[in-house]
Amino acid sequence: MLSPAILRLMDIDVRTITDDEVAAWSAGASTGFLNPVGDVDAEARRPDLVLDRTWGAFDGDTVVATLRSFRSQTTVPGGGALEASAVTAVTTTSTHRRRGLASRLVAGELAASVERGEQVSVLIAAEWGIYGRFGYGASTEHQTWMVDALAAQVRHRPQGTVEYVDRDTARALAPEVYERHRSKRPGEISRPDYFWDIDFGILRYPSWPEPKPSFYVLARDPARLVTGVARYSYEEKWEHRQPKGQVTVRLFLTDDPAAEALLWHHLLTLDLTASVRVEDRPADELLPLLLTDARHAQPSGRADFLWIRPLDVAGMLACRSYLVSGQIVLEVVDSAGLAGGRFALDGGPDGASCARTTASPDLTVDAATLGSAYLGGYRVRSLAAAGLVDEHSTSAVARADAMFRSPVTPWCTTWF
Residues annotated catalytic, as ranges: 131, 416
Instruction: Give the separation between CA 93 and CA 32, rounded to whole angstroms.
Output: 5
Instruction: Give the separation between CA 355 and CA 240, rounded to whole angstroms.
Output: 69
The strand pairing partners of 65, in sequence order, are 57, 92
Greatest distance between any 2 Cα atoms in the chain: 78
Classify 414 as helix, strand or coil: coil
Q: CA torsion 106→112→115→119, rounded to 10°?
A: -50
The CA angle 308-311-315, to the nearest 5 degrees, is: 100
Classify 213 as helix, strand or coil: coil
Tell me the backbone φ, ψ of residue 396, rounded to 5 degrees: -65, -40
Instruction: Give the separation between CA 152 and CA 289, rounded to whole angstroms.
Output: 12
CB 354 within 8 A of CB 344: yes
The strand pairing partners of 84, in sequence order, are 72, 120
Name the residue among 79, 181, 98, 77 with its Cα closest to residue 410: 77
| C-alpha distances in Å from residue 38, one per residue of 68, 159, 249, 266, 399 | 17, 51, 31, 42, 52
Distance of CA 337 to the CA centre of its chain: 25
